[in-house]
């Protein structure tokens, strides 16, 4: 649905100074996908999403949407294509002097071919879709943050777009309101067959609703995968830092006051991280293995997360014994779980 090829963006700051914000982004987003983009502040996320609808023109590279190369179009063609992409923002960007109805009607009124009756029925249909039909005549200042964003969503959908771009759309909302907006987006994806791109610094948002996620760092995509892959097994340091603060909070707290060695020393305990997926999160694997292998396994920390409603269990265990026992416990657990990783060795008496 969306394809970016070797996208560069250089901002010319003044005569001698420029800023290379994007340094060669290749990305494909599938039809019907909810795709997340995360990264630190200033990483280039907003630049990237604005390049998808060509509000920002890339310095180099090609943008394709639904098979059409946007970077090859002229301004009037672009204006037409932009109507197939809606966008919502952190600050909602509603017109304060217009009612809810008029805010949503605004993009439709730009199109002379639509009659007043058609505008009215479309706007009321959109407002009931976002459950605000009863607020049609009020002004934005009379709405809560979540309601304002619902108006923003209705307005973004007025031109029946195929793509919805969301730049930090829930960042100004409390967690409960955020969840309700995300549920709305997920249901709209089903109902309208939308492709949704979500830019956010809230990892909770990614965890709840994205199918895949890209991490952007230094103007490039540093890691990309399904949301489950990224949360279960982050590879890059930045990705680890971002996702672990959410799904490995207990483990991080624990490691703050436990020093683990990378080398085994006589008498050390070994620490493993064990990952369980889906239904297997309920299996009594650890107890079984401890019994069969006749070793002591201590559970040091545990956390169950829900990634798009699928459980991901993370357990940290410590085992006393010798190296052969460690290896056979590792093999026995590995057979029955999603993944097991060595965290390190604890020298008893060292902490």
Cβ distance to ligand ATP smaller for residue 188 or 216: 216
Which of Mg ion, ligand ATP, none has residue 60 at its interface (CB below 5 to 8 Å by kind)? none
Which of ligand ATP, Mg ion, none has residue 201 at its interface (CB below 5 to 8 Å by kind)? ligand ATP
Residue nearest to Mg ion (CB): 46
In the complex, the residues that contact ligand ATP under the rule CB under 6 A are: 11, 13, 19, 21, 39, 41-47, 201
- Shortest spacing between CB 57 and Mg ion, in angstroms: 18
**β pairing state of 339-346 and 68-69:** unpaired
Cβ distance to ligand ATP smaller for residue 29 or 329: 29
Which of Mg ion, ligand ATP, none has residue 43 at its interface (CB below 5 to 8 Å by kind)? ligand ATP
Residues in contact with 36: Cβ distance below 8 Å, sequence separation at least 6, in sequence order: 197, 198, 199, 200, 205, 206, 210, 212, 213, 214, 227
Question: Is residue 123 a contact partner of residue 46, using CB atoms and an 8 Å limit?
Answer: no
Cβ distance to ligand ATP smaller for residue 50 or 212: 50
Residues in contact with 271: Cβ distance below 8 Å, sequence separation at least 6, in sequence order: 260, 300, 316, 317, 318, 342, 343, 344, 345, 346
Rounded Cα distance, 191 and 340, in Å: 39
Rounded Cα distance, 342 and 275, in Å: 12
Which of ligand ATP, Mg ion, none has residue 349 at its interface (CB below 5 to 8 Å by kind)? none
Q: Tokens standing for 234?
A: 């982050």
Rounded Cα distance, 30 and 26, in Å: 14
- Shortest spacing between CB 131 and ligand ATP, in angstroms: 29
**DSSP-assigned beta bridge partners for residue 89:** 167
- Shortest spacing between CB 44 and Mg ion, in angstroms: 8
Cβ distance to ligand ATP smaller for residue 51 or 318: 51
Which of Mg ion, ligand ATP, none has residue 21 at its interface (CB below 5 to 8 Å by kind)? ligand ATP
Which of ligand ATP, Mg ion, none has residue 19 at its interface (CB below 5 to 8 Å by kind)? ligand ATP
For residues 62-98, one letter each, b for 16 or more C-beta atoms within 10 angstroms of the residue's C-beta and e for the rest, the string is ebbbeeeebbeeeeeeeeeebeebbbbbbebebeeee
Cβ distance to ligand ATP smaller for residue 19 or 350: 19
Residues 44-103 that bind Mg ion (CB under 5 A): 46
- Shortest spacing between CB 53 and Mg ion, in angstroms: 15
Residue that the structure tokens 């409390």 belong to:
174
- Shortest spacing between CB 79 and ligand ATP, in angstroms: 20
Cβ distance to ligand ATP smaller for residue 26 or 296: 26
Cβ distance to Mg ion smaller for residue 206 or 300: 206
Cβ distance to ligand ATP smaller for residue 27 or 318: 27
Residue 341: HSE in the Cβ half-sphere, 13 Å Cα cutoff: 12
- Shortest spacing between CB 167 and Mg ion, in angstroms: 6
- Shortest spacing between CB 42 and ligand ATP, in angstroms: 4
As a dihedral over the C-alpha atoms of residue 335, residue 277, residue 321, residue 244, rounded to 10 degrees, the angle is 140
196 φψ region: left (φ > 0), alpha (ψ -120 to 50), beta (else): beta
Q: Is 258 in the site for Mg ion (CB under 5 A)?
A: no
Cβ distance to ligand ATP smaller for residue 39 or 152: 39
- Shortest spacing between CB 275 and ligand ATP, in angstroms: 29
- Shortest spacing between CB 312 and Mg ion, in angstroms: 28
Residues 34-53 that bind Mg ion (CB under 5 A): 46
Q: How far is CA 139 from CA 97, 110, 122, 171, in A?
A: 7, 21, 19, 22
**Closest by Cα among 338, 319, 327, 226 to 269:** 319
Which of ligand ATP, Mg ion, none has residue 42 at its interface (CB below 5 to 8 Å by kind)? ligand ATP
Quickly list DSSP for 172-224.
TS-HHHHHHHHHHHHHHHHHHT-EEEEE-S-HHHHHHH-SEEEEEETTEEEEE
Binding site for Mg ion (CB under 5 A): 46
């Amino acid at each position: 649905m969306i394809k970016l090829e070797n996208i560069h963006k250089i901002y010319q700051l003044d005569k001698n100074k420029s800023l290379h914000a994007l340094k060669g982004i290749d990305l494909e987003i599938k039809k019907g996908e909810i795709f997340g983009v995360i990264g630190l502040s200033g990483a280039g996320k907003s630049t990237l999403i604005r390049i998808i609808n060509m509000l920002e023109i890339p310095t180099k590279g090609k943008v394709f949407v639904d098979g059409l190369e946007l970077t090859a179009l002229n301004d009037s063609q672009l204006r037409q294509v932009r109507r197939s992409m809606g966008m919502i923002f952190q600050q909602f960007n509603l017109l304060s002097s217009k009612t809810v109805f008029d805010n949503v009607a605004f993009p439709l009124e730009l199109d002379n071919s639509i009659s007043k009756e058609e505008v009215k029925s479309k706007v009321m249909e959109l407002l009931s879709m976002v459950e605000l039909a009863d607020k049609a005549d009020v002004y934005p200042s009379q709405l809560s943050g979540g309601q304002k964003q619902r108006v923003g969503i209705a307005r973004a959908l007025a031109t029946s777009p195929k793509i919805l771009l969301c730049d930090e759309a829930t960042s100004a909302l409390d967690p409960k309101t955020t969840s309700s907006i995300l549920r709305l987006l997920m249901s709209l994806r089903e109902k309208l067959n939308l492709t949704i791109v979500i830019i956010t610094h809230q990892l909770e948002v990614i965890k709840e609703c994205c199918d895949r996620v890209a991490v952007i760092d230094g103007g490039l995509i540093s890691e990309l995968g399904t949301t489950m892959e990224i949360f279960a097994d982050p590879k890059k340091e930045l990705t680890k830092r971002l996702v672990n603060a959410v799904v490995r909070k207990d483990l991080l707290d624990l490691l703050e006051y436990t020093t683990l060695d990378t080398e085994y020393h006589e008498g050390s305990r070994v620490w493993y991280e064990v990952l369980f997926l889906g239904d297997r999160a309920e299996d009594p694997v650890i107890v079984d293995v401890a019994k069969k292998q006749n070793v002591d396994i201590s559970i040091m920390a545990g956390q169950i997360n829900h990634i798009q409603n699928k459980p991901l269990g993370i357990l940290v265990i410590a085992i006393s014994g010798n190296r052969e026992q460690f290896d056979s416990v590792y093999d026995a657990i590995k057979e029955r779980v999603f993944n097991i990783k060595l965290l390190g060795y604890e020298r008893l008496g060292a902490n």
